[in-house]
């Protein structure tokens, strides 16, 4: 795939065996820390020719004056990297479930150029969807003084530690513009491996996580909806495909809302074990400037430790973020499709791709 001999990337077999809830999963997304921490087989290191191909595409869309949100796959032609990226997309959806791209130079690039490179790569992976009620198609992970524990707090605009979770979309992407002074460690766990380990230890609690849990909408209500919550299972199997969701803050914050029953002791125990196993089995991934991660949410959980920023505004931790739909490329539970197809939308939401955090 690449002439870059230092590239550690290695795809999986992508052999899918039909899943049955309550039985062990044999899935290429069921990786362990020992599998990947040393080999870094998830890391695709771009060759000079591939990086040049990406920035040639950036130059073309910039010369056309295209707004970030208007850049399509057809606009962002990648004759060198495009075939590789198509294969990486197949690995994200039907293989290990994630890939990290490294080697895209960030120095000397404008914010538009950085965003266009990230968005253009994303356009080959999925369809961008809204990340919040403001209609942000291009998100900014940056501390704006919020706390995740507040009523409308979101992890992306705080320096808070985040529990293991999955975002409300099919695939999420991050692009590293600046790293923190300390903390902010990115952690990942295979939800397939977590499920299998829970099945060994407490199969009764696996069944508890098939419940359609109530989840807070964090004050962002879709048009026509009046309930401040939605419902999704943590574990589900659809047409032989396993999917997992997070079991962290949105479930906890729904408690006490009108119409939401109290969690049972068994549900609380299952949620606690799920989080504990994710932390036990997680792999730490160090971000470098310019890195891009592309992660399928149904087989991968991620978290972040609390971080301390640099005092200088231009050095503060800053990541660009994409939420993407893969438009039915993998069967999903109906509740998940309903909530993820268009991302987060409110009445009157106008979609846009801001170049600065807001």
Nearest to 221 by CA among 325, 136, 348: 348
Residue pLDDT, tens place only, 168-215 = 999 999 999 998 888 889 999 999 999 999 999 999 999 999 999 999
Structure confidence at residue 134 as a pLDDT band (50, 70, 90): very high
**Cα separation, 218 vs 257, whole angstroms:** 11
Kindly state the percentage of the chain with pLDDT values over 70: 96
**Residue 245 contacts by C-beta under 8 Å, 6 or more apart in sequence?**
166, 232, 233, 234, 297, 298, 336
Range 145-173 average pLDDT? 78
pLDDT at residue 148, rounded to an integer: 60
In degrees, rounded to 5, the angle at the alpha carbon of residue 50 between the alpha carbons of residues 47 and 56 is 140
Range 313-328 average pLDDT? 94
**Cα separation, 104 vs 177, whole angstroms:** 11
The SS3 call for residue 59 is helix
Residue pLDDT, tens place only, 202-244 = 999 999 999 999 999 989 999 989 999 999 999 999 999 999 9
Q: Is the pLDDT of residue 150 over 80?
A: no
Structure confidence at residue 310 as a pLDDT band (50, 70, 90): confident
pTM: 0.94
pLDDT at residue 1, rounded to an integer: 42
Kindly state the percentage of the chain with pLDDT values over 90: 83
* 252 burial via Cβ count (<10 Å: 0-12, 13-18, 19+): middle
Determine which helix (DSSP H) or strand (DSSP E) holds 55, and give its type and residue range: helix 48-63
**Cα-flanking dihedrals φ and ψ of residue 237, to 5°?**
-130, 130
Question: Tokens in use for 312?
Answer: 């200088």
**Cα-flanking dihedrals φ and ψ of residue 195, to 5°?**
-60, -50
Q: Which CATH superfamily is domain 33-340 in?
A: Clavaminate synthase-like (3.60.130.10)
Considering 145-154, 277-286, 302-311, the range whose residues carry the highest mean pLDDT is: 277-286
Q: What is the mean pLDDT of the chain?
A: 94
Q: Which stretch of 64-68, 147-151, 184-188, 201-205 has the lowest confidence by average pLDDT?
A: 147-151
Residue 130 gets which letter from DSSP?
B
Determine which helix (DSSP H) or strand (DSSP E) holds 170, and give its type and residue range: none
Q: Which stretch of 5-19, 38-52, 71-85 has the lowest confidence by average pLDDT?
A: 5-19
Nearest to 355 by CA among 104, 133, 118, 129: 118
pLDDT at residue 147, rounded to an integer: 60
Q: What is the number of residues in the chain?
A: 358
Structure confidence at residue 88 as a pLDDT band (50, 70, 90): very high
pLDDT at residue 314, rounded to an integer: 86
Domain boundaries, the chain: 33-340
pLDDT at residue 3, rounded to an integer: 46
Residue pLDDT, tens place only, 240-265 = 999 999 998 899 999 999 999 999 99
Considering 177-186, 289-298, 309-318, the range whose residues carry the highest mean pLDDT is: 289-298
Structure confidence at residue 130 as a pLDDT band (50, 70, 90): very high
Structure confidence at residue 267 as a pLDDT band (50, 70, 90): very high
Region label for 42, one of left (φ > 0), alpha (ψ between -120 and 50) or beta (otherwise): alpha
**Cα separation, 255 vs 260, whole angstroms:** 6
Residue 150 gets which letter from DSSP?
S
């Amino acid at each position: 795939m690449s002439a870059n001999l230092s590239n550690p990337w290695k795809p999986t077999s992508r052999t899918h065996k039909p899943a049955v809830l309550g039985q062990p999963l044999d899935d290429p997304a069921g990786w362990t820390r020992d599998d990947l921490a040393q080999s870094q087989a998830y890391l695709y290191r771009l060759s000079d020719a591939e990086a040049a191909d990406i920035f040639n595409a950036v130059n073309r869309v910039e010369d056309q004056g295209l707004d970030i949100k208007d850049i399509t796959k057809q606009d962002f032609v990648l004759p060198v990297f495009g075939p590789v990226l198509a294969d990486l997309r197949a690995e994200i959806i039907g293989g290990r479930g994630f890939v990290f791209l490294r080697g895209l130079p960030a120095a000397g690039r404008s914010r538009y150029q950085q965003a266009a490179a990230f968005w253009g790569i994303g356009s080959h992976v999925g369809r961008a969807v809204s990340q919040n009620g403001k209609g942000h198609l291009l998100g900014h992970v940056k501390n704006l003084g919020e706390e995740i524990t507040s009523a409308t707090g979101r992890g992306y605009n705080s320096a808070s530690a985040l529990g293991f979770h999955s975002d409300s979309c099919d695939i999420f992407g991050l692009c590293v513009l600046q790293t923190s002074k300390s903390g902010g460690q990115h952690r990942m766990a295979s939800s397939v491996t977590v499920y299998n380990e829970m099945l060994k230890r407490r199969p009764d609690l696996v069944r508890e996580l098939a419940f359609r849990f109530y989840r807070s909408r964090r004050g962002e209500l879709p048009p026509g909806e009046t309930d401040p919550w939605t419902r999704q299972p943590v574990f589900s199997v659809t047409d032989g495909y396993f999917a997992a969701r997070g079991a962290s803050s949105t479930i906890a914050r729904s408690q006490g809302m009108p119409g939401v029953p109290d969690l049972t002791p068994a549900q609380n125990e299952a949620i606690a074990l799920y989080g504990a196993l994710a932390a036990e089995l997680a792999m730490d991934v160090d971000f470098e400037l310019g890195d891009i991660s592309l992660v399928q949410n149904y087989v991968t959980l991620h978290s972040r430790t609390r971080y301390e920023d640099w005092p200088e505004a231009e050095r503060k931790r800053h990541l660009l973020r994409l939420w993407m739909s893969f438009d039915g490329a993998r069967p999903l539970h109906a509740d998940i499709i309903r909530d993820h197809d268009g991302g987060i939308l409110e009445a009157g939401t106008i979609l846009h791709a801001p170049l600065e955090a807001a």
